[in-house]
Amino acid sequence: MARILIAEARFYAHLNDMLLAGARSALEQAGHSHETITLPGALELPGAIALAAEDRGFDAFVALGVVIRGETYHFEIVAGESARGIMALTMDGLAVGNGILTVENEAQAIVRADPAQGDKGGDAARAALALLALRQRFVS
């Protein structure tokens, strides 16, 4: 049984509730334990995961959040930099499932976040577990 950290950006709490439900369900169905930490926004997710990885108590990580396009360039910065940060952690050998939704509007986010529809939270958890299995196969 692996120990998984779910790091969630609660900027859109009602959307994150759905992502979180999907991620937790996927991890529990696979027989793994999890802990959740909450952060203000998606930009903080890679840093928080990097800090948590230092204690070596977690086997894999799931990053959850929602970034909705607005009227300014801020969307591009948050979407791009959070994805870049998650990818950098993965390239450094951490098993991280990226469940940060980047969407045009709330309706798109609902479809993707809802476990009964897109289940992107569950997909992110399953991605983290797949990367963990690969790391155990190739690195251990």
**Every domain of the chain and the residues it spans:** 3-14+31-138
pTM equals 0.96
Q: Tell me, which fold does domain 3-14+31-138 have in CATH?
A: Rossmann fold (3.40.50)
Residue 41 CB coordination number (10 Å): 15
Task: Find out whether 6 and 105 touch, Cβ atoms under 8 Å.
Answer: no
Q: Look up 74 and say whether it is catalytic.
A: yes
Is 66 labeled as ligand-binding? yes
Of 14, 32, 34, 74, the catalytic one is: 74
Residue 126, φ and ψ in degrees, nearest 5: -65, -35
Question: Which regions of 40-112 does DSSP assign to beta strands (E)?
Answer: 60-68, 96-103
Written as tens digits, the pLDDT of the chain (140 aa) is: 999 999 999 999 999 999 999 999 999 999 999 999 999 999 999 999 999 999 879 999 999 999 999 988 899 999 999 999 999 999 999 999 999 999 999 999 999 999 999 999 999 999 999 999 999 999 86
CB under 8 Å to 109, separation ≥6 — which residues?
A: 12, 15, 66, 68, 101, 103
